[in-house]
Amino acid sequence: MSIYTAGVLFSIVLYLLIGMYAGRKVRSVEDYYVCGRNAPTLLIAGTLFASMLSTNGFLGDTAYCYTGNITTMILINALCACGYVLGPLFFGRYIRRARVDTMPSYFGQRFNSKRIRRFSGLITVISLTAYLLSVIQGTGLLMETLTGFSRFSCLAISWICFTAFTFYSGSRGVVITDTLMCIFFLAATVLAGFFVLKAAGGVGSLVVNLASSADTPDGLLDYHGNTGGGSKLDMMTYAISMGFVWMIAVGVSPWQAGRNLMARNEHVVFRSGVIAALLTTFFLLYLYLMAVSVLLLNPGLDPPEGVILWAAFELVPKLVGVVLLTGIMTAGLSSASTFLSVVSFSLSSDVFDMKFKSGEAQLLFTRFTVLFVGLITLALASFNVSDIRVTTWFASTIIAASWGYVAFASVWSRRLTERGAYYSMLGGFTGYLVLEIASDFLGLTSGPVVNPFFIGLGISILLGFLGSRNQKRSSEEVRFLKKMHQIPESETRDEDYRIDRMYGWGMVVGGFLITFFLLTYWVFPYHGFLSSGAA
């Protein structure tokens, strides 16, 4: 047995033991669905970042950077990080006051509508099943690389692990393992990055070395990244549009904003968002620098999704590599349990909308739904039907297009009615999906500004306005909205707000630090290289 196989088996056993411990404390549907609404800042921040990054960031996004688009990813992440602050301030803390168990149930109660609850549940199932599919494929690929087992065997092991875990422990176990694995892979990546960057000549000379190398992809160091034969405007439009997609997604999506339903209080919602925003900008920049450093050492990796895997095998001490790779794999398993739980909860609670005799009956039904969804995902993953990064970005985009507008309007609009909200979701969902299918399978192309996401979002906003015309809000809607804007007495302690301001100042300092770093180690060296005529 190799040290990598031993690391995989050890991490799986540890993961399952944590799940068993967490599952013992599940006593009710509220425990299973929303962790008893008592999760502290560390757990919410950990599950936010771990479920957003997962294997997709380590495999798909690093491959995108390696092939010439690190500046594209930096811009996308900067906009994404804004969602972690704007989401809690303008949406997350309000839905927590609703005390619901799922995001679709929030929409159903806000608009006093079963059809909105059911349709938003369906959107959740479709989008996050796609996300779950990408995660299990990434986890299976990594396990296959580490152990040498067959691809299907790795997929089956992954499935058994995260399905059994979610089946037993629900969201309580998910947030605990997400956070522990998040801390684990953060520490392992930072340690491994020291060796990778050192092998490439260090951060101080990285940009000049890349600019001097004939193997560096075109546009890697430029603001627009590798255009792939297209125009700079197309590339920048793509980066900005995907940045807005992720900003909306982390602000209102069921697997991100839905974590706020588990928070101990509204201050936890804001503080965990700040931590996730800082990790999105600082840690991911560090990870992407590791990826492009490999271009100086091995510029011909195929497939490029293996860039961090190659670095872990070849550039760092074996023990550090084992820790890093098994950390990434268990993070993937933990994220898979997040998506599996959200899909299963929405399916059993919102789409089926069944009446149960007791909480125990609902809990049992939900657990068997977890098993059913897991089996469907395993079957799809075994056919290797999609690209990891593309599937992930599809999942986030369809959420942003279909209910991005409705989410914020549900809190701040006094004109949006039940009919307008339903038409808005339906129009955004179908508009984006039809145009994306036409673009991918029929070869239809759009201009640099007009793309399926913006069209879908535009349709959603337009139908929200038109659908609400000549319809009055029901008394239930009015009362629900008014209640959401009433600050609970428990949230008004001066000490809590003083701590919140410290988190806010932390973001300001973080902004200055990352600006200083990029100017010192990227902009000035690259400008000096170009000015010297060495290019």
pLDDT digits (tens, 9 = 90+) for 118-128: 999 999 888 88
Query: What distance in Å separates the CA atoms of residue 82 and residue 204, rounded to the nearest whole number?
Result: 28
Query: What distance in Å separates the CA atoms of residue 520 and residue 506, rounded to the nearest whole number?
Result: 21
Identify the H or E element spanning 121. helix 114-147
Q: For the ranges 26-30, 59-63, 171-175, 305-309, which has the lowest average pLDDT?
A: 26-30
Query: What distance in Å separates the CA atoms of residue 429 and residue 119, rounded to the nearest whole number?
Result: 10
Quote the percentage of the chain above a pLDDT of 70.
95
Over residues 448-452, the mean pLDDT reads 63
The pLDDT value given to residue 147:
82
Query: What distance in Å separates the CA atoms of residue 123 and residue 244, rounded to the nearest whole number?
Result: 19
- Number of domains the chain contains: 1
Over residues 271-300, the mean pLDDT reads 95
Query: What distance in Å separates the CA atoms of residue 196 and residue 185, rounded to the nearest whole number?
Result: 16
107: number of Cβ within 10 Å: 29
Decide if pLDDT at 9 tops 60.
Answer: yes
Integer angstrom CA distances of residue 377 from 156, 343, 504: 11, 11, 40
Q: Which residues contact 375 (CB under 8 A, 6 or more apart)?
A: none
N-terminal to C-terminal alpha carbon distance within the chain: 49
Query: What distance in Å separates the CA atoms of residue 31 and residue 176, rounded to the nearest whole number?
Result: 13
The pLDDT value given to residue 515:
95
Q: Which residues contact 367 (CB under 8 A, 6 or more apart)?
A: 167, 168
Tell me the sheet residues that pair with 263. 39
Tokens of residue 419, six digits? 């009919």
The pLDDT value given to residue 448:
47
Residue owning tokens 């993070």: 331
Query: What distance in Å separates the CA atoms of residue 148 and residue 154, rounded to the nearest whole number?
Result: 9
The pLDDT value given to residue 481:
93
Query: What distance in Å separates the CA atoms of residue 411 and residue 435, rounded to the nearest whole number?
Result: 29
Over residues 303-326, the mean pLDDT reads 89
Residue 378's domain comprises 3-95+103-531
> In the 8-state DSSP scheme, what is residue 217?
P
> In the 8-state DSSP scheme, what is residue 294?
G
**pLDDT tens digits, 177-210:** 888 888 888 998 999 999 999 999 999 999 999 9
Decide if pLDDT at 25 tops 80.
Answer: no
Q: Which residues contact 380 (CB under 8 A, 6 or more apart)?
A: 133
Quick one: which of 276, 253, 252 has its CA closest to 42?
276
Over residues 502-525, the mean pLDDT reads 95
Query: What distance in Å separates the CA atoms of residue 394 and residue 127, rounded to the nearest whole number?
Result: 8
Q: For the ranges 116-120, 250-254, 359-363, 418-422, which has the lowest average pLDDT?
A: 359-363
Query: What distance in Å separates the CA atoms of residue 463 and residue 457, rounded to the nearest whole number?
Result: 10
173: number of Cβ within 10 Å: 28
List the CATH number of the domain containing 352.
1.20.1730.10
Tokens of residue 263, six digits? 């928070």
Identify the residue with better confidence: 385 or 46. 46
Amino acid at the residue 358:
S
| pLDDT band, very low/low/confident/very high, at 389 (cuts 50, 70, 90) | low
Q: Which residues contact 160 (CB under 8 A, 6 or more apart)?
A: none
Check: CB of residue 420 under 8 Å from CB of residue 448. no
